[in-house]
Amino acid sequence: MVTRGFTGRNSAGDQLDRIPPGQHLVEHFPVLTAGPTPRVETADWKFTLKIGPRTIKVWNWNEFNALPKTKMTRDIHCVTSWSKLNTAWEGVIVDDILADAGIERPSDFVLAHSYDGYSTNVPLADLASGKAMVALNYEGQPLARDHGGPARLLVPHLYFWKSAKWLNALQFTERDEAGFWELRGYHIYGDPWREQRYTDD
Ligand SMILES: Nc1nc2c(c(=O)[nH]1)N[C@H]1C(S)=C(S)[C@@H](COP(=O)(O)O)O[C@H]1N2
Ligand SMILES: [Mo]
């Protein structure tokens, strides 16, 4: 007999509903980096908001940490096929960054840039409305260097390559410009529920 209604939350059935097609669950937190791991001290850390080539605002570590903080617990999905449930983050949601800079919607597209030269593109609609944050903490601790510390982008509803580690800039672009993996055969948008892994998916 099927008694799913009585099994409560976190039952195996509920967990399966949260795993996109072609993904499997992991308990550990894999590290995936295209090149060497940069060492970024918070004393040197800077975060820049740009519209095209124009710098709108630069925050240092203390200034950025003075922005409102938000907590988010989300499932994450890597294109290499692992998914991890209930990851807990704290950081500054993109809406609060834009508000602090006094801008709303200069264009519909954003490129995220990182200290290691990595980049990835995300439509503004997928960063705003509380959907994404610049994460500073993971599971109650400062974000580990391997996972992008001191600060990484977190866009949990897209494949995890969109969550740029060692973030140092968000740049509004006129058009949707491909980033590092998007130029190397990965999908321009990357929705795990539509299995948008590669360019033509
Ligand atoms: N700066 C930077 N960010 C990056 C990457 C990278 O190589 N450099 N790899 C991406 C990929 S492919 C994935 S799956 C996730 C992995 O994050 P993790 O190492 O914290 O699991 O980071 C993404 N962000
Ligand atoms: Mo990835």
pLDDT of 132-179, one tens digit each?
999 999 999 999 999 999 999 999 999 999 999 999 999 999 999 999
pLDDT at residue 56, as a whole number: 98
Q: Could you identify the atom of ligand 1 that is nearest to the CA of residue 116?
A: 1
- Match 């490129």 to its residue by tokens: 111
Does residue 162 line the site of ligand 1, with CB under 6 A? no
Measured from the alpha carbon of residue 162, the closest ligand is 1
Burial class (CB in 10 A: 0-12, 13-18, 19+), 109: middle
As a dihedral over the C-alpha atoms of residue 40, residue 41, residue 44, residue 47, rounded to 10 degrees, the angle is: 60
Residue 28 lies in a domain: no
pLDDT at residue 100, as a whole number: 98
Residue 185 lies in a domain: yes
Model confidence at 9, pLDDT cuts 50, 70, 90, reads low
The rounded Å distance from CA 161 to ligand 2 centre is: 5
Residue 53: strand, helix, or coil: coil
- How far apart are the C-alpha atoms of 50 and 28, rounded to whole Å? 35
Residue 36 lies in a domain: no
Residue 65 lies in a domain: yes
The rounded Å distance from CA 22 to ligand 1 centre is: 19
Token pair of 115 as six digits: 């200290």
Does residue 32 line the site of ligand 1, with CB under 6 A? yes
- Match 């072609």 to its residue by tokens: 22
pLDDT at residue 166, as a whole number: 98
Does residue 95 line the site of ligand 1, with CB under 6 A? no
Provide CB contacts within 8 A for 118, sequence distance 6+: 34, 35, 164, 165, 166, 179, 180
- Match 């983050």 to its residue by tokens: 89
Does residue 30 line the site of ligand 1, with CB under 6 A? yes
Query: Mean pLDDT throughout 78-87?
Result: 98
Q: Could you identify the atom of ligand 1 that is nearest to the CA of residue 80?
A: 14
Residue 5 lies in a domain: no
Domain hosting residue 80, numbered range: 45-194
Using an 8 Å Cβ cutoff, are 142 and 89 in contact? Answer: no
- How far apart are the C-alpha atoms of 136 and 47, rounded to whole Å? 12
CATH code of residue 185: 3.90.420.10
Residue 105: strand, helix, or coil: coil
Could you tell me if residue 52 is left (phi over 0), alpha (psi between -120 and 50 degrees) or otherwise beta?
Answer: left
Total count of domains within the chain: 1
Question: If you take atom 11 of ligand 1, which residue's CA is the nearest one?
Answer: 161
Does residue 161 line the site of ligand 1, with CB under 6 A? yes
Residue 32 lies in a domain: no
Residue 105 lies in a domain: yes
Ligand 1 pocket mutation pick from 163, 168, 183, 186 by most atoms within 8 angstroms of CB: 163
Residue 8 lies in a domain: no
Question: If you take atom 24 of ligand 1, which residue's CA is the nearest one?
Answer: 164
Provide CB contacts within 8 A for 189, sequence distance 6+: 123, 158, 196
Distances (CA, A) of 164 to 71, 112, 169: 18, 7, 10
Model confidence at 11, pLDDT cuts 50, 70, 90, reads low
Measured from the alpha carbon of residue 80, the closest ligand is 2
Mean of the per-residue pLDDT values of the chain: 95
